[in-house]
Structure 1
Amino acid sequence: MQERLKILLVSSEVDPFAKTGGLADVAGSLPKALARLGHDIRIIMPRYKQIKNTEYLNDMPVEMDGHLETAIVRQAMLPVKGGEADLKIPVYFIDNYKFFYREGLYGHIDDGARFNFFTKAVLSALPKLDFKPDVIHCNDWQTAMLPLFLKVKYEDEPFYKNTATVFTIHNLQYQGRFPKDVLITLNLPEKKFFTPDQLEYWGQVNYMKAGILYSDLINTVSDKYSLEIQTSEFGEGLDGLLRKRAQDLYGILNGIDYNNFNPETDERIYKNFSLATIEDKRENKYALQEELGLPKKDVPMISLISRLASQKGLDLLANVINDLLETNVQFVLLGSGEDRYQHFFSELKIRYRDKAAIHIGFDADLAQRIYAASDIFLMPSRFEPCGLGQMISMRYGTIPVVHATGGLEDTV
C-alpha cells in the first residue's frame, strides 16, 4: 500500500451536515474514498445552528480584532459505506454562537471575519486534538486564508513544521472579496498585505487570491477547468496569478459516491433497477408523473436540477424551451436562484401545465427521484468547473445533454 497520510479536509460545508451546493457533496464523499484507501482522514467545518448531536471535546480562546472569542470544538462521526470494514471518519466542528448561529451559511456582512475566526480556530484546535496532519486540504475562499495564516503566524511552530497545504478551487467566480479592514481580524499588517502582489484586488481583500498565493499546491475539479482559468475568459481577473503558479496547478476530476448514488439500492427512488432490469426505470417515470401532476405518458422526460443563475446557461434554455414544449415531451425543473429565472419558469408552468412541472426550491429526495425518472438531463452551463449532475444522471441511466465546457467536456 502507498504511504498512509494524515489528512485534514477543511470545508465550510459538508454533506450531510450542511449543504448549499456541490462543495458539500465533494467534502462529504472524498474523505470516504481516502479512508477506504487507508489514509487517516478527518474533517473540520463550522457548527451551524442546524447541526445537532455533536459531542463536546474542548474549547479555546481565539484573538479577533483585539479581543478574545471562544471556539468550542465538537465532534461527530461520518460512517463510510462500502469496503471490507466499517469505517467512521471523525468530523470536528468549530462552534461559536456569534459567528455561526445564523440563517443561511453565507451572505452575511461579516462573512470575512466569520471565516477568519474559523481559520484561526482550526489551527489552534489541532494541537489540542493531538492530530498532526501531513496535509491540510482547504476548499474555496472560505478556507483560503488558512495557508497564509499557517505560513505567516505558524512558521516557527514545531507542530506544523512538516504540514503541507492543498487548495482546491471549486468555482473561481466566488472569490470572497471584503474591505481591507478585514485584515485586522487576522492580525495582519495592512502595509505588508494590502498590496497588488499580495491580497489587494481592486481596492478589496481577495480571499481566493490568498489561497492561490500561499498554498503549496493548487487544484481545480477538472483538467479542462484548470486550463480554462488560466485564460482571460474564465480567469475572473486571477488568470495572470494562476499562470504564474501553473507548475503547481493541477486538474483532478471530481467524482460521486457510488454507494450513495446507486439505483439498485437507493431508498429515495420509487423502484430500484439495474442494467439488467433497466425496464424498471420506466416505473420511476410513471410514479414521478403522478407525484408532479403530469399526464402519465411514455414520452421523453427532460429534466434540469440546478441553481438558477446565469452561469448555468439558463438564458440559452429560455430561448428554446417554448419550442421544445410544443413537441411531445415533458419538462421537470428543480432549483432556485435569481428572481428573473424563478419568475420565468413559474410562468412556464402556467402556460404548459400538462407538460411542465416546476419546483422552485431544493429537495434532495425529489432530486433523486428526478434523476431516476428522467430520460434526458440538461446542463447548458456557460462554464462548469466540474459538475456532478451529469455523473449522477448517467449513474441512473439518464442521458446528459451538456455544453462542452470545463468538467462537462471531461466527463460526458
Structure 2
Amino acid sequence: MHIAFAASECVPFSKTGGLADVVGALPQALAKLGHQVSVYLPRYKQTKLNDAQTVVRSITVPFDDRYRFCSVLTGGKQGGVDFYFVEYPPYFDRDALYGTPAGDYPDNAERFALFSRAVLEASKVIGVPQVFHCHDWQSALVPVMLRTLYGEDPAFHDVGCTFTIHNMGYQGLFPSEILPLLMLPWDLFTMSKMEFFGQVNFL
C-alpha cells in the first residue's frame, strides 16, 4: 500500500514537540512492513537537507482566488521512506515554525492551508497514494479539500484518509472570514462540520 503522510514537523528535519517524533518513526515502521511510504513537510528556514534537489519547480497551487507557485524538494530516502518538502518562502522561511514568544503567526491559517493544498497538487505529479495520513490541525485540511475541491478529480478516485490528533489543545481556530480565502464552500460552516462557536475549526 502507498501511504503519504502530511505533517507540519518531523525529526530530524524540524521539531517543536512529540508530533515530530511520531512522524519520524511511524513511516519507517510502515516501510519495514513492506508499504510504500512518503512524507510531506513544509520547508522551514531551519530545515536542513543534504543534496536537496527540486522535484517539481513552481507547482501551481490555486489559493485565494489566484495561484501561488511552490517548489517541492526531496530529502531523499531515509529508512525506506521518501521525504518531500513544500517550499514557499513567504510563508515558511521564518525563524520559528508556528510563531514567536509574543504569539502565533497571524497568518498560520493561510500558511498551512496552502501547505495542505500543495500536498495534494504535488502528489498528482509525484504519485497519488492510496491513503493520506494527516496529523493535527496543520494538515487537517487535506481530507477536507480532497472531498470538496478535489471531489471530482479522477486522480484521487478511491483515495482514503486517516487523521491523527496528537494534542487536542491545539484546535486550529480562526475567524470565519478565513473560509473564502481557503476557497472552501460556506456549507462547511456548520456545527457538524467546521464551525465552532462562530469560528472556523480546522479539526
TM-score range, shorter chain: over 0.9
Q: 1:11, 1:199 → 2: CA distance?
A: 20
Match of 1:196 among 180, 191, 195: 191
Aligned residue for 1:170, secondary structure, equals coil
Q: Over aligned residue pairs, what C-alpha RMSD do you find?
A: 1.2
Larger Rg: 1
Deviation at 1:169, TM superposition (A): 1.0
Q: 1:72, 1:188 → 2: CA distance?
A: 23
In the other structure, the counterpart of 1:145 is: 141
In the other structure, the counterpart of 2:101 is: none
Q: 2:117, 2:137 → 1: CA distance?
A: 15
Paired letter, 1:62:
V
In the other structure, the counterpart of 2:93 is: 101
1:386-405 aligned at under 5 Å gives the runs: none
Aligned residue for 1:51, secondary structure, equals coil
In the other structure, the counterpart of 1:69 is: 68
Structure with higher helix content:
1
Please say if 1:47 is aligned against 2:46: no
Matched length = 195
**Aligned residues of 2:30 and 2:37 also touching (Cα < 8 A):** yes
**Aligned residues of 1:42 and 1:90 also touching (Cα < 8 A):** yes
Aligned residue for 2:22, secondary structure, equals helix
Structure with higher strand content:
2
1:17-28 aligned at under 5 Å gives the runs: 17-28=13-24
Deviation at 1:193, TM superposition (A): 1.9
After superposition, the C-alpha distances for 1:3-46 in whole angstroms (9 at most, x for unaligned) are xx100011100100000000000000101111111100110010
Normalising to structure 1: TM-score of the pair?
0.46
The 4+ residue runs of structure 1 with deviation greater than 6 A are none
Q: 1:29, 1:52 → 2: CA distance?
A: 18
Paired letter, 2:40:
I
Aligned residue for 1:73, secondary structure, equals strand
**Aligned residues of 2:149 and 2:184 also touching (Cα < 8 A):** no
Q: 1:91, 1:140 → 2: CA distance?
A: 19
**Aligned residues of 2:70 and 2:87 also touching (Cα < 8 A):** yes
Q: 2:63, 2:152 → 1: CA distance?
A: 21
Match of 2:12 among 5, 10, 16: 16
Match of 1:34 among 30, 33, 36: 30
Q: 2:170, 2:184 → 1: CA distance?
A: 23
After superposition, the C-alpha distances for 1:277-315 in whole angstroms (9 at most, x for unaligned) are xxxxxxxxxxxxxxxxxxxxxxxxxxxxxxxxxxxxxxx
Q: 1:118, 1:141 → 2: CA distance?
A: 12
Q: 1:205, 1:197 → 2: CA distance?
A: 12
Please say if 1:155 is aligned against 2:181: no
**Aligned residues of 2:46 and 2:95 also touching (Cα < 8 A):** no
Deviation at 1:103, TM superposition (A): 1.8
Deviation at 1:60, TM superposition (A): 1.4
Q: 1:66, 1:199 → 2: CA distance?
A: 21
1:363-378 aligned at under 5 Å gives the runs: none
Give the fraction of aligned pairs with identical amino acids, expressed as a percent: 40
Q: 2:112, 2:6 → 1: CA distance?
A: 11
**Aligned residues of 1:116 and 1:185 also touching (Cα < 8 A):** no
After superposition, the C-alpha distances for 1:73-123 in whole angstroms (9 at most, x for unaligned) are 10012422xxxxxxx321000000111011211121110010000011011
Q: 2:88, 2:31 → 1: CA distance?
A: 29
1:341-352 aligned at under 5 Å gives the runs: none
In the other structure, the counterpart of 1:110 is: 107
Aligned residue for 1:153, secondary structure, equals coil
**Aligned residues of 2:173 and 2:200 also touching (Cα < 8 A):** yes
Paired letter, 1:97:
P
After superposition, the C-alpha distances for 1:328-365 in whole angstroms (9 at most, x for unaligned) are xxxxxxxxxxxxxxxxxxxxxxxxxxxxxxxxxxxxxx
In the other structure, the counterpart of 2:54 is: 56
After superposition, the C-alpha distances for 1:230-263 in whole angstroms (9 at most, x for unaligned) are xxxxxxxxxxxxxxxxxxxxxxxxxxxxxxxxxx
**Aligned residues of 2:140 and 2:202 also touching (Cα < 8 A):** yes
**Aligned residues of 1:10 and 1:139 also touching (Cα < 8 A):** yes
1:270-285 aligned at under 5 Å gives the runs: none
Normalising to structure 2: TM-score of the pair?
0.92
In the other structure, the counterpart of 1:83 is: none
Paired letter, 1:166:
T
**Aligned residues of 2:60 and 2:68 also touching (Cα < 8 A):** yes
Unaligned runs of 5+ in 2: 99-103
